[in-house]
A = this chain, B = another copy of it.
Amino acid sequence: MFLEPFWKQNAGSSSIMVAGWHRMGYEFEDGSLISKQLENVIHKLHETVGNANTSNKYILFGSGSTQLLNAAVYALSHTTYSSSSSTKVVASAPYYPVYKSQTELLDSKKYKFSGHTSSWRNKTRNDKFIEFVTCPNNPDGRLNKAVLHGKFTRHIYDLAYYWPHYTPIPAPMDEDLMLFTLSKLTGHAGSRFGWAIVKDKAVYDKMVEYVDLNTYGVPRETQLRALKLLNVVVRGDKKEMFRFAHTVMRSRWEKLTEILSTSKRFSMEQLPSQHCAFSKQVRPPSPGNH
């Protein structure tokens, strides 16, 4: 909710009107389930912020990154070929609990949650692994990197917080499968809108298959709203929302630091400052949602 005041200040440019007869059908004019305009503004957004390289990659929408997490596990477990038929899904502790609960939900024969990356270091051999890499990590704010590098290991980069209000952006990420969500960018958690940036066509196709069979795409009014909001984010000098958001997060973080500095029982972990290419400043992290 910390961005609600920003959207109140920009009420005129960020509201949508949806007529009763607007976009009733399943598909857009081109037969797809996604708005090309929205896809284009997402490319522009990442180019502007410099947090992800989207060129020559596919973009896919989901009902929050929530839906895309499992779509990615499904797709990678079906497109990685080794002698083992089941894939081990792992993450580095402390990790987002949904990685585990969602992987276990449907008790698939194809993949199984298999705990922490630390148990499997140098033991990947011929097994198939999917590693969730969360950067910056929730709850500890670290810019995590992949831990496992076996021949049959694939990575899902959960970049929900890789935006300049939460962390310095040292350089654009250029990974094979990256996930983002509107909720952490603009604050619209209730809209359930996320997107995946995918390098490999076969992986992208399998993710599309999953989303199609799971919900048959993302509501058209949600896509319209995301388009309207992102157009505000990328307009003008393209830094207006990020300036507002960073100011709020930094001031909260400073308050917390000050309070904890007087405590003898609690202390703050020191996270390093880094150069942020977006703000052109050396900045400490200012994590949100912890």
Contacts and interface: CB of A to CB of B under 8 A. Distances in A.
Nearest to A215: B63
A193 B1 CA distance: 25
A107 B110 contact: yes
Contacts of A63: 63, 214-216, 219
Interface in A164-201: 183, 187-193
Copies of this protein in the assembly total: 2
Contact of A215 (B19, B25, B67): B67
A204 interface: no
A217 interface: yes
B216 A219 contact: no
A70 to B, nearest CB: 7
A232 to B, nearest CB: 7
B11 A190 contact: no
Contacts of A189: 24-26
Given A18-B16, A232-B20, A25 B11 contact: no
For chain A, the bracket of interface size reads 35 or more
A209 to B, nearest CB: 8
A125 interface: no
B215 A191 contact: no
27 contacts: A1-B24, A3-B24, A4-B24, A13-B20, A14-B20, A14-B21, A17-B17, A24-B187, A24-B188, A24-B190, A63-B214, A64-B216, A66-B213, A66-B215, A66-B216, A67-B214, A70-B214, A74-B106, A98-B213, A101-B213, A102-B213, A105-B214, A191-B221, A192-B218, A214-B214, A215-B215, A221-B225
Interface of A: 1, 3-4, 7-8, 10-11, 13-27, 63-64, 66-67, 70, 74, 98, 101-102, 105-110, 183, 187-193, 210, 213-222, 225, 228-229, 232
